[in-house]
Structure 1
Amino acid sequence: MSQQTHKIWEKDRNHILHPYTHFENFDREGSVIYSRGDKHFIFDNDGKRYLDGIAGLWCVNIGHGNQEMADHIGRQAKELAYYNTFEDAVSPPTAELAAELARLAPGDLNHVFFGTGGSVANDSAIKLVHYYYNIIGKPEKKKILSRDLAYHGSTYLAHALTGISGTHSAFDLPKELIHYLSAPYPYRRRDGQSEEEFCDVLIAEMEEAIIKIKPQNIACYIAEPIMGAGGVIVPPKGYHRRTAELCKKYDILYIADEVVTAFGRLGNMISSKDTFEVQPDILILAKGISSGYVPLGATVFSDRIYDAISKAEKENPYFSHGFTYSGHALACAAGLKNIEILEKNRLCEKVRQLGPYFEKELASLQDHPLVGDVRGSHYMLALEYVKDKHTKEAFDPAINIGKRVYRHAKEKGLIIRPIAHLNILSPPLTYDKNAIDETVSILSESLDATLEDLTAEKLLS
């Protein structure tokens, strides 16, 4: 570490509280300082180059250092960086982006509320749903169906929607509003159970929960098309369509959280309808909406909801929800340019072409002694590690198997995301065949190195 880098390292260590900090590790190791990016590469402050296997954090879909985007942001900042959008004000890029999102969104999702990220978009969605039901005279509809291992953010309400229970510790979240259904986790289904049978069980569980809670008390159901931070869990075929059918049957609004899956990661701009046969009532967008160049999120909702809430009442003439940075001009300009770049460079088509190759090459690691499951779709993939491949016994969390593999991969020039017994891959959509091949090669070497470490430390039976 150079002297300059060490100074930055110390300032960070002394003053920044990072998201999801493990305090003991951070106190011992501090941060890696990344200072530059180029397409699907990221460079640390001392110039070492890494393949960015996680697109920053599911975000940088058009790749790092895009000159066209940088120039566009600069022009917009000079022209108008910010003006509020409260009631009677708007900037051109804000209106243009709203229209573009309505064009891309399926069905009658023609209305947009802007925020600064996915957590805010999900909080806004729940507030909107409750407001809608209050307006139409169904104030008892308040409960929310979410899922174990779901990730919907970390603002107060979005954190409660998140079904990763380990993240809830010592936070007083409004979990009385939420009922968590089982995660649609095929790898962990009962022995001898087919995926079709597993899907039937999940749907039966959901309907039983609806009946028990009572449909008149349930406002909405929220789901990621593929669960992201919970483990890149791809549900059984037909699962999303059948959950949507239950929602329609029992008058429950369906929220599709596409913070990760939209804008090309699965090969489509929006995944719900094209990939999973679901027409949501509300669509949540963030991350890839601006490829992370400027923070931006959007809650996109139906004509049905807008028609109800837009009828002013004498005692309640205002929609009293919004933020200083809702519809931020610079962020929306970045969102518009991002969509243009994605479409012009045919990045969705590229992901559809290379995604199956990525899946196949990564699946070649399935035979490694540490690997229990390789799963995902296109540019959203994961490796799950097990102590015993036959029983699927998990590693002791204290071993931190995902972090061990991550460290070896980083040393060899690849950034992957460690989550307990998992490693996740979600690279920029600029990732080409060479990057895929290098990624799989480094992962193979890193798994071998990790196996050697565990054997030497006598941590394998």
Structure 2
Amino acid sequence: MSLDLDISTDGVLTADTNLVQSWADLNALKQSGARTVIVSAEGAMVRDSEGNELIDGIGGLWCVNAGHRRTEIIDAIKEQLDTLDFYSTFYNFTHPAAAALAVKLAELAPGTLNKVHFGNSGSVANETAIRILHHYYNRLGQPQKKRILSRHGAYHGSTNLAVAMTTPGYSEGWDKSGELVHHLRCPHHWREGGEMTEAEFLGVLKQDLLDTIQHYGAETIACMIAEPIMGAGGVIVPPEGYHTEMAAICRAHDIKYVTDEVVTAFGRLGHFFASKDVFGVQPDIINTAKGLTSGYQPLSATIMSDEIHEVISGPGGMFFHGMTYSGHPAAAAAGLANIALMEREQIPERVRTSGKRFEALLRQLEEFDIVGEVRGSHFMIGIEFVKDKATKAPFAPEELIGLRVAREAQKRGLIARPLGNILILSPTLIMDDAMIDRVADILRESIAALQSSL
């Protein structure tokens, strides 16, 4: 059956298709049919169906860290498929690519995080961590330790439990398995801190955690899960020392600390993993995906401590969890090639300089009246637009400010991601200084154009 696509002159798909878009206003798409069709990519650039060259300012979706069309990764996938197209890592079966990638991740991960379970998405990695910890406490004779502490503003995925751990706004009109999840206060000082200093606000966040533990009882709480920097919740950077302080409280109450590094790992903040190297915290589990293969293949990893693995691998129990495609040979080969490329080209090390240039240039956009805050770190930046800078009053949702700025940017050659009144930038990590400067110029022109129209 052929699919007849009507491509309009401005490079968007206008015909109804059988494809259900993810995270989209399906009714709006049904009415307008407007979809940007990306047909090819190379380096830091993509091309749409009308031949327009666009800077990939969202890195596919937080993930194409090494850049597009890297032959090293593509060739590794092809070679693996020619050798072993598929075999699952279940029961007593394995294959060399998955085993080698597990060894490499254990080498890169901090502390004693030496045991790796593969999945195929960040949602799966986060759900896997919870299933493992529930099983862990069952085996320790503490079956009541099931509750999960997350945060307002978090994003941990879109499967039933992962979306329950995600900030409630992403579940409006949808059901979720949320009875075990409690959301702590959002650690966004600019929005939530009022007149408090950052240190005072951190004290409030710590007390919120302590009050929550006292309310539910530490004996009922399995873990706290936290992104080092919140991604799809608005690129929210917590106060300095937040993760080390929160993890210390959790550890004192026998509550595991899980870091969701689906976005922040593999160079985005200048290190392969950000938890310890950037934020000084040693988690019990790290979950990752996206940049693990730079998006070339769907793959995720739940990396757990030796201590957790020792409990769940002891006698008298089965590990009743896994996916058909866990550790897929082609995906594992992509991960190995991606990491080798990043090490050879020293991409994380380069990001420590180029990412800071990107961050500094974008922070200058705060001079605009409608820009309330530019936040984030390195190649993970959020720009929040406000109607009134003094009061931080937001634009009404129907004004679609983020989307309108994104459209202005795309007209000028840059793809950026709108999120309500926020614009998110998470580009490939290989941009040179000239392209970084161009991104900053496009954003300046785009914001100026929208501000003048308001």
TM bracket, shorter-chain basis:
over 0.9
Which residue of the partner structure matches residue 385 of structure 2?
A: 385
1:175-190 paired onto structure 2 within 5 Å: 175-190=178-193
Which residue of the partner structure matches residue 342 of structure 2?
A: 342
Which residue of the partner structure matches residue 93 of structure 2?
A: 89
1:103 paired with 2:113, answer no
**What is the deviation of 1:61?**
0.4
- Aligned CA distance change for structure 1 residues 8 and 381 (closer, same or farther; 3 Å): closer
Which residue of the partner structure matches residue 434 of structure 1?
A: 434
Deviations, residues 178-231 of structure 1 (Å, cap 9, x unaligned): 000011101113432111111111111111111111000000000000000011
Task: Give the Cα separation in 1 of the matches to 2:125 and 2:87.
Answer: 20
One-letter amino acid matched to 1:378: H
Give the alignment partner of residue 66 of structure 2, picking from 59, 62, 66. Answer: 62
Deviations, residues 300-351 of structure 1 (Å, cap 9, x unaligned): 10111111111121xxx42111111011111000000000001100101110
**What is the deviation of 1:3?**
7.6
The answer to whether the 8 A contact 2:113-2:303 is kept is yes
Which residue of the partner structure matches residue 237 of structure 2?
A: 234
1:172 paired with 2:149, answer no
Give the alignment partner of residue 310 of structure 2, picking from 304, 307, 311. Answer: 307
For 1:427, what is the secondary structure of its paired residue?
A: coil
Task: Give the Cα separation in 2 of the matches to 1:18 and 1:333.
Answer: 28
One-letter amino acid matched to 1:406: A
Which residue of the partner structure matches residue 355 of structure 1?
A: 355
Task: Give the Cα separation in 1 of the matches to 2:66 and 2:356.
Answer: 19
**What is the deviation of 1:358?**
1.2
Task: Give the Cα separation in 2 of the matches to 1:200 and 1:3.
Answer: 56
Structure 1, gaps ≥5 residues long: 455-461
Deviations, residues 403-447 of structure 1 (Å, cap 9, x unaligned): 000000001100001000000111101111111111111111111
One-letter amino acid matched to 1:410: Q
The answer to whether the 8 A contact 2:12-2:35 is kept is no
For 1:176, what is the secondary structure of its paired residue?
A: coil
For 1:83, what is the secondary structure of its paired residue?
A: coil
Which residue of the partner structure matches residue 13 of structure 2?
A: 9
Deviations, residues 253-296 of structure 1 (Å, cap 9, x unaligned): 11000000000000000111111111111110100000000000
**What is the deviation of 1:360?**
1.3
One-letter amino acid matched to 2:17: N
Task: Give the Cα separation in 1 of the matches to 2:417 and 2:175.
Answer: 28
- Aligned CA distance change for structure 1 residues 298 and 190 (closer, same or farther; 3 Å): closer
One-letter amino acid matched to 1:360: A
Task: Give the Cα separation in 2 of the matches to 1:123 and 1:401.
Answer: 34
**What is the deviation of 1:84?**
1.4
**What is the deviation of 1:4?**
6.6
The answer to whether the 8 A contact 2:225-2:258 is kept is yes
Which residue of the partner structure matches residue 459 of structure 1?
A: none
Deviations, residues 113-135 of structure 1 (Å, cap 9, x unaligned): 10001000111111111011001
Which residue of the partner structure matches residue 134 of structure 1?
A: 138
For 2:115, what is the secondary structure of its paired residue?
A: strand
One-letter amino acid matched to 2:383: L
Task: Give the Cα separation in 1 of the matches to 2:408 and 2:361.
Answer: 20
Structure 2, gaps ≥5 residues long: none
One-letter amino acid matched to 2:86: Y
Task: Give the Cα separation in 2 of the matches to 1:228 and 1:79.
Answer: 37
**TM-score, length basis structure 2:** 0.96
- Superposed CA RMSD: 1.5
One-letter amino acid matched to 2:7: T
Deviations, residues 144-187 of structure 1 (Å, cap 9, x unaligned): 00000100000111010101x22212222111110000111011
**TM-score, length basis structure 1:** 0.95
Task: Give the Cα separation in 1 of the matches to 2:5 and 2:295.
Answer: 30
Task: Give the Cα separation in 2 of the matches to 1:323 and 1:190.
Answer: 42
Deviations, residues 88-140 of structure 1 (Å, cap 9, x unaligned): 11111100000000001111111111000100011111111101100110000
1:261 paired with 2:286, answer no
Which residue of the partner structure matches residue 252 of structure 2?
A: 249
Give the alignment partner of residue 43 of structure 1, picking from 27, 35, 47. Answer: 47
Task: Give the Cα separation in 1 of the matches to 2:209 and 2:327.
Answer: 36
One-letter amino acid matched to 2:357: Y
One-letter amino acid matched to 1:451: Q
1:199-238 paired onto structure 2 within 5 Å: 199-238=202-241
Deviations, residues 32-53 of structure 1 (Å, cap 9, x unaligned): 1001111110100221100111
The answer to whether the 8 A contact 2:5-2:13 is kept is no
Task: Give the Cα separation in 2 of the matches to 1:190 and 1:333.
Answer: 45
For 1:199, what is the secondary structure of its paired residue?
A: helix
One-letter amino acid matched to 2:60: G
Which residue of the partner structure matches residue 83 of structure 2?
A: 79
Which residue of the partner structure matches residue 418 of structure 2?
A: 418
- Aligned CA distance change for structure 1 residues 278 and 3 (closer, same or farther; 3 Å): closer
For 1:9, what is the secondary structure of its paired residue?
A: coil
**What is the deviation of 1:23?**
2.1
Task: Give the Cα separation in 2 of the matches to 1:32 and 1:192.
Answer: 43
One-letter amino acid matched to 1:167: Y
Which range moved further: 85-94 or 386-395?
85-94
Paired residues, what number? Answer: 448
1:52 paired with 2:46, answer no
**What is the deviation of 1:77?**
1.0
Identical columns (%) = 46
Which range moved further: 77-86 or 187-196?
187-196
**What is the deviation of 1:364?**
1.2
Deviations, residues 6-59 of structure 1 (Å, cap 9, x unaligned): 599356x32111111212321214311001111110100221100111100000
